[in-house]
Amino acid sequence: MAGFTMCADCQAEYENPLNRRFHAQPNACPVCGPHIWLELNSNLQPSTFNVEGSTLNVQRSTFNLQPLEAAQQFLAEGRILAVKGLGGFHLACDAASDEAVQTLRQRKGRVDKPFAVMALDVATVRQFAELSAEEETLLSSKERPILLLRQKPGSLLSQFIAPGNNSIGVMLPYTPLHYLLLTPP
């Protein structure tokens, strides 16, 4: 995919309540949105696949915040959610809750392998991890990689995120849904 995170223009539209794209799902910007295309396969029979004769049925719907608010509430209550990303699903829980992280470990059968943490922004990351200028640039890049950062002593994150490690995997949101889920209500 050519783009992973929202471009500056989409971010501005997405955050502006007066913009028609305010919290619109999904984001389909030609610059930063997922790039998908249709390719004809020569093995397909013409009777079962007809691009020329097909029509696009577009239905407009409004974005309902109730599921989002429910998801945020579930996380606050220590529940575990499956959150859709571009390449699959993430399992999410409150990273500050020992109980939630241990429950996630138990359900995944993942005794010691470290989990990564998604934070809303660089300012949030600085609350629990040490971040150099170079690491900040990488973390904020279009690709939104998971970086291994040194965890600050006394961090509010659960000790069970990365048991026995001084480092923690950190990433920033790369889809509008991630951004909304992490933005305080």
Domain map (residue ranges) of the chain: 66-182
Splitting the chain (185 residues) into consecutive groups of 10 residues, what average pLDDT does each group show?
66 84 69 57 44 44 68 93 86 96 95 95 97 96 94 94 95 90 87
pLDDT score for 28: 62
Pairing of the two strands 167-171 and 147-150: antiparallel
Which of 154, 157, 156, 151 is CA-nearest to residue 131?
A: 151
Which of 100, 102, 157 is CA-nearest to residue 129?
A: 157
pLDDT score for 46: 44
pLDDT score for 61: 43
Supply angle C-alpha 66, 69, 73, rounded to 5: 135
Question: What six digits make up the tokens of 23?
Answer: 């919290």
CATH architecture of 66-182: 2-Layer Sandwich (3.30)
Q: What is the largest CA-CA distance in the chain?
A: 65
Coil, strand, or helix at residue 102? helix
